[in-house]
């Protein structure tokens, strides 16, 4: 949880920096809301038992509930983030950060805007977050559904096979082109020469120069959809250059993304190398963030089919937790699970009342303080508790100190002790623990 809080903090600060408000939706949706949105993966949806009333299912992602929420509230314009758990009846794989209950961190921009400005901001956000988290070098692959569809069309794939060929292409980050081709030809009945034409395209990746090259491609540039996609990508690269992140972006024709609802730009961030240090198992983490444009989803929930264009991203935070945790373990860095600044302790017996009075004064002054729940704890036990919990300071009360109106303040690591006048104690603790004296 301590690791999670640190990661969430980075993500939330970024989402807020980009002016997003936060919304929340229920953990369950009407079953019908989720039907027909996830293709084959629908079998992984958890249903609630029919105990009377509506038929409900646990949410599978945050995007479909968001689209349902927009349509229901007739919202046509919002920038929101949502951090919450989603549910999949899947086989968990702990080391890869795959669970049946897991967090998603989504940021989406809904509304009718000029092309590629919100899309560019989504990519900027992904880059800001991945840089801040310091989990190693990364690359964001970008493509466009319209380019994929146009490419399939000019290569000679029939419309009805777009989806299934698309999901074959999507495997290129895990298996070789040969295997993908075999699947296309052997399982999905594509002519070998059609597959080869696809192969010529999808093995290409590069920067804006590849976009320009394909804009000159005699066949692809004749396809209306592909042309639109390429034009938008060119514009996108301009904006990404202004945002200073074009070096992180790779136009990759093999990026396909599984979900049905994408309609335009799609993207996926991958770590370039897992931070495998001495004694660490390299993690097979796959993509750590992804997203894209889905202009048709909200309309599916509107009785009149009114569309609200959307673009968004999702941070694969469970995978990031795994990476950060493993890195900290390798460094043998101990993560504190509490934030306590000072333990109120006593050197002699019969000082419980004095300890209670002092700890209460500290709480009232905003200091994070604890005491052992024993009437007469041994000083050694109190000091040991600090060592274990990582508490940096001990405020020790003794008979003599009480007479002198002072508290003995001890640093746990250096073992240095100084007498501090009781009225100065709060300020001294704040000073030592780097807590600002003002409230900010």
Residues that bind a copy of itself (CB under 8 A): 1-2, 4-5, 16-24, 26-28, 46-51, 53, 58, 85, 87, 89, 101, 109, 111, 113-114, 117-118, 120-121, 124, 128, 238-239, 242-244, 337-340, 352-353, 356-357, 360, 363-364, 366-371, 373-375, 389, 434, 436, 440
**63 assigned ligand-binding residue:** yes
Please indicate if the annotation marks 277 as binding a ligand. Answer: no
Concatenating the DSSP letter of every residue in 276-324 gives --TTPPPP---EEEEEEE-SSTGGGGSTT-----EEEEEE-HHHHHHHH
Buried b (16+ CB within 10 A) or exposed e, 174-205: eeebeebbebbbeeeebeeebbebbbebbeeb
DSSP letter for 253, please.
Answer: T
Tell me whether residue 17 or residue 174 sits nearer to a copy of itself (CB atom). Answer: 17
First to last CA, the chain: 25
Annotated ligand binding at 62? The verdict is yes
226, 150 contact by CB (below 8 A)? yes
* Degrees to nearest 5, angle at CA 144 with 139 and 148: 115
Q: Are residues 19 and 122 in contact, defined by beta-carbon separation less than 8 angstroms?
A: no
Minimum CB separation of residue 79 from a copy of itself in Å reads 8
Rounded Cα distance between 318 and 328, Å, is: 15
Question: Is 146 within any annotated ligand binding site?
Answer: no
CB of 212 to a copy of itself, least distance (A): 19
Consult the annotation and say whether 103 binds a ligand: no
Give the nearer residue to a copy of itself in terms of CB position, either 174 or 357: 357
Quote the least distance from Cβ 320 to a copy of itself, whole Å.
16
Residue 316 Cα to chain centre, angstroms: 4
Least distance in Å: CB of 403 to a copy of itself? 19
Q: Which is nearer to a copy of itself, 298 or 369 (CB)?
A: 369
Question: Is 257 annotated for ligand binding?
Answer: yes
Which of 105/172 has CB closer to a copy of itself? 105
Least CB distance to a copy of itself at residue 223 (A): 26
Sign of the Cα torsion 356, 359, 363, 368 reads: negative
- Binding-site annotation: residue ranges: 61-63, 88, 104, 108, 257, 261-262
Q: Which residues are annotated as a binding site for L-histidine?
A: 61-63, 88, 104, 108, 257, 261-262
């Amino acid at each position: 949880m301590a690791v999670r809080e640190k990661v969430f903090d980075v993500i939330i600060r970024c989402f807020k920096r980009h002016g997003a408000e936060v919304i929340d939706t229920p953990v369950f949706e009407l079953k019908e809301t989720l039907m027909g949105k996830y293709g084959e993966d629908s079998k992984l949806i958890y249903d609630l038992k029919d105990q009377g009333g509506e038929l409900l299912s646990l949410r599978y992602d945050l995007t479909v509930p968001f689209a349902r929420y927009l349509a229901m509230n007739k919202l046509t314009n919002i920038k929101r983030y949502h951090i919450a758990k989603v549910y999949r009846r899947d086989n968990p794989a702990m080391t890869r950060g795959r669970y049946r209950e897991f967090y998603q961190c989504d940021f989406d921009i809904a509304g009718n805007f000029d092309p590629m400005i919100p899309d560019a901001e989504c990519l900027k956000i992904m880059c800001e977050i991945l840089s801040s988290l310091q989990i190693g070098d990364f690359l964001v692959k970008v493509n466009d559904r319209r380019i994929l569809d146009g490419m399939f069309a000019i290569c000679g794939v029939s419309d009805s096979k777009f989806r299934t060929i698309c999901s074959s292409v999507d495997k290129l980050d895990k298996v070789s082109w040969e295997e993908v081709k075999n699947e296309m030809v052997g399982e999905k009945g594509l002519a070998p020469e059609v597959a080869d034409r696809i192969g010529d395209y999808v093995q290409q990746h590069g920067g804006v120069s590849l976009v320009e090259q394909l804009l000159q491609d005699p066949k692809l540039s004749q396809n209306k959809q592909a042309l639109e996609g390429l034009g938008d990508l060119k514009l996108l690269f301009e904006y990404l250059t202004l945002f200073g992140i074009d070096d992180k972006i790779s136009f990759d024709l093999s990026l396909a993304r599984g979900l049905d609802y994408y309609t335009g730009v799609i993207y996926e961030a991958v770590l370039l190398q897992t931070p495998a240090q001495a004694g660490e198992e390299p993690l097979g983490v796959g993509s750590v963030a992804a997203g894209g444009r889905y202009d048709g989803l909200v309309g599916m929930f509107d009785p009149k089919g009114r569309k609200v264009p959307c673009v968004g991203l999702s941070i694969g935070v469970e995978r990031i937790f795994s990476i950060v945790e493993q890195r900290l373990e390798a460094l043998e860095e101990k993560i504190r699970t509490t934030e306590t600044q000072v333990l109120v302790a006593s050197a002699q017996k019969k000082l419980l009342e004095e300890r209670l009075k002092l700890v209460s004064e500290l709480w009232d002054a905003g200091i994070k303080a604890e005491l052992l729940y024993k009437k007469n704890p041994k000083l050694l036990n109190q000091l040991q508790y600090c060592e274990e919990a990582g508490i940096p300071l001990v405020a020790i009360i003794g008979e003599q100190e009480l007479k002198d109106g002072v508290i003995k303040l001890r640093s746990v690591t250096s073992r240095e002790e100084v007498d501090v006048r009781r009225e100065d104690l709060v300020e001294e603790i704040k000073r030592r623990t780097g807590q600002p004296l003002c409230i900010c």
